[in-house]
Each structure stands twice: as structure tokens, then as C-alpha cells.
Amino acid sequence: EEQEEDVLRELRLFLRNVTERLALDRRFKAFTKPVDIEEVPDYLIVIRKPMDLSTLLTNIDEHKYVTVSEFMSDADLIWQNALEYNPDSDPMDRHIRHRACALKDTVRAIIRDELDEDFDRVCEEIKESR
Ligand SMILES: CC(=O)c1nc(NC(=O)[C@H]2CNCCN2)sc1-c1cc(O)cc(O)c1
């Protein structure tokens, strides 16, 4: 009902704010847009579920997420994919892995510091009721 839509609207505002802050962070430039398959032709062979910060924003606007946990599953794909695609000792691989780990830690720190656990519980209850 109306109260549920108010909660989900507030969730979308929170998730957009988090995602936009990540997209403004220069460390995460490589994660802001889908990997360009022209530039990186083997990417889709290695990475089955591509994800990036602009796609997270599109998903938010399309009401894909009812809980923070669902959002986190997609957000985690970004750094997990980067670690998987860049496993080598190559300096570029190490550079991307370092940024992927920074993204993982930053997302978790923001959620820990800024997500109210009672609000999260209400979202989880809406999800279970659907
Ligand atoms: C996001 C990601 O996972 C990514 N990984 C890369 N790895 C490499 O280039 C390594 C792979 N091993 C051999 C030596 N090169 S480049 C790259 C990337 C960076 C951007 O600025 C935009 C973009 O779309 C993708």
C-alpha cells in the first residue's frame, strides 16, 4: 500500500545517493560504465554477469531492488568481476584489483555507517510479503 511505496521510494533515494558517490570517486572510474566489448573482446567469455555503476543506477530507477541486500548482490558483481578478469601479476591487473578491493570496502563501510537496521528490516519484510 502507500506506506510501502513510501519506504521503497526512500530506499531508491538512499541507493542512488550511494551509487552516485561511488561514481564520483576517481578510484572507481573503470567501474562507471559497462566494459566496452570492442575494446575488450574476450571480456564476455570470462565474465558471465557484467555489472557497473551506471547499470546499478538504471536498475534502481527501474525499481529492481526492494532490499539493500539485492542491491549489494549486484554491486558486489562489479569488484568480483574485476578480480576474476584480472588475476595476474601484470601491473595493470594489480592496479585494477587494488581498486576493486577499495570498491568492496567502500560500499560495505557506507552501508554499515548509513543504513538504519530498522529501515532495512522493513524493506526485507516488504520483500517477504510479495
Ligand atoms: C574494469 C576491468 O575489469 C578492466 N580490467 C582491465 N584489465 C586489463 O586491462 C588487464 C587484463 N590482463 C592483462 C593486462 N590488462 S582493463 C579494465 C577496464 C578499464 C577501464 O578503464 C574501462 C573498462 O571498461 C575496463
CB atoms near residue 28 (< 10 Å): 21
| 39 C-alpha to ligand 1 centroid (Å) | 9
Mean pLDDT of the chain: 98
pLDDT of residue 106: 99
| 96 C-alpha to ligand 1 centroid (Å) | 7
Residue type, 31: F
Are 85 and 37 in contact by the 8 Å Cβ rule? The answer is no
Q: What angle in degrees, to the nearest 10, is found between the helix axes of 2-24 and 117-128?
A: 120
| 100 C-alpha to ligand 1 centroid (Å) | 11
pLDDT of residue 76: 98
pLDDT digits (tens, 9 = 90+) for 3-36: 999 999 999 999 999 999 999 999 999 999 999 9
- The residue contributing the CA closest to ligand 1 atom 20 is 30
What is the rounded distance in angstroms from the CA atom of residue 55 to the CA atom of residue 71? Answer: 11
- Residue 47, ligand 1, Cβ within 6 A: no
Nearest-atom index, ligand 1, CA of 35: 24
pLDDT of residue 122: 98
Q: Mean pLDDT across the stretch 65-82?
A: 98
pLDDT of residue 56: 99
